[in-house]
């Protein structure tokens, strides 16, 4: 009887343990050709790296860009959208992070987290010459 209780307790504890947090890594290479529609008169490029904690829903990002046609006027994470579509901004980048390098962090909603993990977010930089966006890249999970 005592052994059955211990076995039952062990099985119950396995099913009631909280899920383990995992930090997922994402990346996007930003190019003018990835914009929708594509930008043909720009030699700019960039990237964004993202770390996402599945337990806290905290997204930490860092970006860099070079060669834009002028100063960045805005940058955002957008979604949900596949690479051929445009979508609303989900996470704006603060004005202080619009230089050649930027970083930030934000807590996502459950819906935003699902969209990110499903590969339905993109990141882009906007300029005066290209108000719809000059460089863009789909934010996709990478294995570490």
Model confidence at 45, in pLDDT bands (50, 70, 90)? very high
Taking all residues of the chain, what is their mean pLDDT, rounded to a whole number? 90
Position 124 pLDDT exceeds 60: yes
One-letter-per-residue 3-state SS of the chain: CHHHHHHHHHHHHHHHCCCCCCEEEEEEEEEHHHCCCCCCCCCCEEEEEEEEECCCCEEEEEEEEECCCCCEEEEEEECCCCCCCCCCEEEECCHHHCCCEEEEEEECCHHHHHHHHCCCCEEEEEECCCCCCCEEEECEEECC
Please give the pLDDT value at position 96.
86
Position 7 pLDDT exceeds 50: no
Model confidence at 62, in pLDDT bands (50, 70, 90)? very high
4-13, 33-42, 79-88, 101-110: least confidently modelled range: 4-13
Complete domains list, the chain, with CATH:
20-142 (2.60.40)
Position 129 pLDDT exceeds 50: yes
Please give the pLDDT value at position 16.
45
Considering the entire predicted model, what is its pTM? 0.84
């Amino acid at each position: 009887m005592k052994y059955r209780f211990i076995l039952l307790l062990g099985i119950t504890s396995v099913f009631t343990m909280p899920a383990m947090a995992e930090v997922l890594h994402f990346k996007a290479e930003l190019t003018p050709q990835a914009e929708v529609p594509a930008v043909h008169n720009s030699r700019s490029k960039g990237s964004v790296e993202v770390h996402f904690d599945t337990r806290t829903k905290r997204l930490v990002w860092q970006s860099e860009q070079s060669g834009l046609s002028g100063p960045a006027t805005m940058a955002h994470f957008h979604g949900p959208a596949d690479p051929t579509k445009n979508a609303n901004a989900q996470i704006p980048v603060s004005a202080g992070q619009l230089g050649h390098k930027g970083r930030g962090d934000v807590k996502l909603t459950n819906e935003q987290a699902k969209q990110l993990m499903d590969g339905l977010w993109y990141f882009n930089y906007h300029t005066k010459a290209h108000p719809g966006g000059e460089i863009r890249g789909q934010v996709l999970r990478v294995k570490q």
